[in-house]
Chains A and B, each alone.
Chain A
Amino acid sequence: MDDAEGAPKLPQIPPIPEGMEQVYAYPKSLTENKMHYCPGCTHGTIHRMVAEVLDELGVRERTIGVAPVGCAVLAYNYFNVDIAEAAHGRAPAMATGIKRVSPEHIVFTYQGDGDLAAIGTGEIIHAASRGEKITTIFVNNAIYGMTGGQMAPTTLPDQVTSSCPTGRDVSTAGFPIAMSEMIALLPGAVYVTRQQALDAAGTRKTRKAIKLAFQAQLAGLGFSMVEVLATCNTNFHMKPLEAIRWAKENLEPYFEPGDKKVTDEVRALSRQRPGAPKGAGR
Chain B
Amino acid sequence: MSRELIEGNVAIAEAAVRAGLEAFFGYPITPQTEVLEHLSRRLPEEGRVFLQAESELASINMVYGAAAAGARVMTSSSSPGISLMQEGLSYMACSEIPAVIVNIMRGGPGLGNVQPSQADYFQAVKMAGHGDFRMIVLAPASVQEAIDLVMLAFDLAEKYRTLAMVVADGSIGQMMEPAELPPMRPIRPASERRPWALTGAKGRPHNVITSLYLGAENLERVNLRLQDKLRTIEAEETRHEAYLCEDAEFVIVAFGTSGRIAKTAIREARARGVKVGLLRPITLWPFPTEPLRALSDQVEAMLVVEMNAGQMVEDVRLSVGGRCPVHFMGRLGGVVPFPDEITEELEAIIEAPDAPREVRYGRR
A81 on the interface (CB 8 Å rule)? yes
Q: Which of A61, A67, A95 contacts B201 (CB 8 A)?
A: A61
Q: Which residues of A contact B87 (CB under 8 A)?
A: 87, 90
Shortest Cβ gap from A74 to chain B (Å): 8
Q: Which residues of A contact B154 (CB under 8 A)?
A: none
Alpha-carbon distance between A67 and B95 when the two chains are bound, in angstroms:
14
Contact A82 B88 (CB under 8 A): no
Q: Which residues of A contact B55 (CB under 8 A)?
A: 122
Q: Which residues of B contact A31 (CB under 8 A)?
A: 206
> Which has the most chain B C-beta neighbours within 10 Å: A84, A86, A122?
A84
B73 on the interface (CB 8 Å rule)? yes
Chain B interfacial residues counted at CB < 8 A: 45
Q: Which of B54, B59, B68 contacts A98 (CB 8 A)?
A: B68
Shortest Cβ distance from A80 into B: residue: B206
Also in contact, A81 and B201, with CB within 8 A (given A64-B69, A97-B62): yes
A142 on the interface (CB 8 Å rule)? no
Shortest Cβ distance from B52 into A: residue: A130
B49 on the interface (CB 8 Å rule)? yes
Contact B206 A97 (CB under 8 A): no
A4 on the interface (CB 8 Å rule)? yes
Shortest Cβ gap from B339 to chain A (Å): 44
| Segment of B174-182, B212-220, B226-234 engaged in the interface with chain A | B212-220
Also in contact, A97 and B66, with CB within 8 A (given A80-B201, A90-B61): yes
Q: Which of B22, B206, B214 contacts A1 (CB 8 A)?
A: B214
> Which has the most chain B C-beta neighbours within 10 Å: A4, A77, A90, A95?
A90
Contact A87 B61 (CB under 8 A): yes
> Which has the most chain A C-beta neighbours within 10 Å: B57, B88, B210?
B210
A239 on the interface (CB 8 Å rule)? no
Contact A90 B69 (CB under 8 A): no
User: How many cross-chain pairs have Cβ atoms below 8 Å apart between A and B?
Assistant: 146
Contact A62 B202 (CB under 8 A): yes
Q: Which of B23, B66, B210 contacts A76 (CB 8 A)?
A: B210
Shortest Cβ distance from B88 into A: residue: A87
Chain A interfacial residues counted at CB < 8 A: 41
Q: Which of B58, B71, B198 contacts A64 (CB 8 A)?
A: B198
Alpha-carbon distance between A82 and B55 when the two chains are bound, in angstroms:
27
A190 on the interface (CB 8 Å rule)? no
Chain B positions 169-217 with a Cβ under 8 Å from a chain A Cβ: 190, 198-203, 206-215
B64 on the interface (CB 8 Å rule)? yes
Shortest Cβ gap from B39 to chain A (Å): 14
Alpha-carbon distance between A101 and B91 when the two chains are bound, in angstroms:
20
Q: Which residues of A contact B69 (CB under 8 A)?
A: 64, 97-98, 101-102, 105
Q: Which residues of B contact A85 (CB under 8 A)?
A: 95, 208-212
Q: B17-45 interface mask toward A, CB cutoff 8 Å, 1 = contact, 0 = none?
A: 00000110100000000000000000000
Shortest Cβ gap from B78 to chain A (Å): 20
A118 on the interface (CB 8 Å rule)? no
Q: Which residues of A contact B63 (CB under 8 A)?
A: 97
Also in contact, A101 and B88, with CB within 8 A (given A60-B201, A90-B61, A93-B61): no
Contact B199 A123 (CB under 8 A): no
Contact A93 B62 (CB under 8 A): yes
Contact B49 A101 (CB under 8 A): yes
Alpha-carbon distance between A80 and B58 when the two chains are bound, in angstroms:
26
Q: Which residues of B contact A101 (CB under 8 A)?
A: 22-23, 49, 66, 69-71, 73, 190
Contact A102 B199 (CB under 8 A): yes
Contact B213 A3 (CB under 8 A): yes
Alpha-carbon distance between A132 and B190 when the two chains are bound, in angstroms:
20
Contact B67 A97 (CB under 8 A): yes
Shortest Cβ gap from B277 to chain A (Å): 45
Contact A73 B200 (CB under 8 A): no
Contact A122 B57 (CB under 8 A): yes
Q: Which residues of A contact B190 (CB under 8 A)?
A: 101-102
Q: Which of A60, A62, A81, A98 contacts B66 (CB 8 A)?
A: A98
Alpha-carbon distance between A98 and B61 when the two chains are bound, in angstroms:
10
Shortest Cβ distance from B210 into A: residue: A85
A-B contact list, 7 entries, CB within 8 Å: A62-B202, A81-B200, A82-B208, A93-B65, A94-B65, A98-B65, A105-B199
**What 7 A-B pairs are tightest by C-beta distance, nearest first?**
A97-B65, A94-B65, A97-B66, A93-B61, A97-B62, A85-B210, A61-B202
A residues at B contact (CB < 8 Å): 1-4, 6, 31, 60-64, 66-67, 73-74, 76-77, 79-87, 90, 93-102, 105, 122-123, 126
B residues at A contact (CB < 8 Å): 22-23, 25, 49, 51, 53-55, 57-59, 61-71, 73, 87-88, 91, 95, 190, 198-203, 206-215, 218
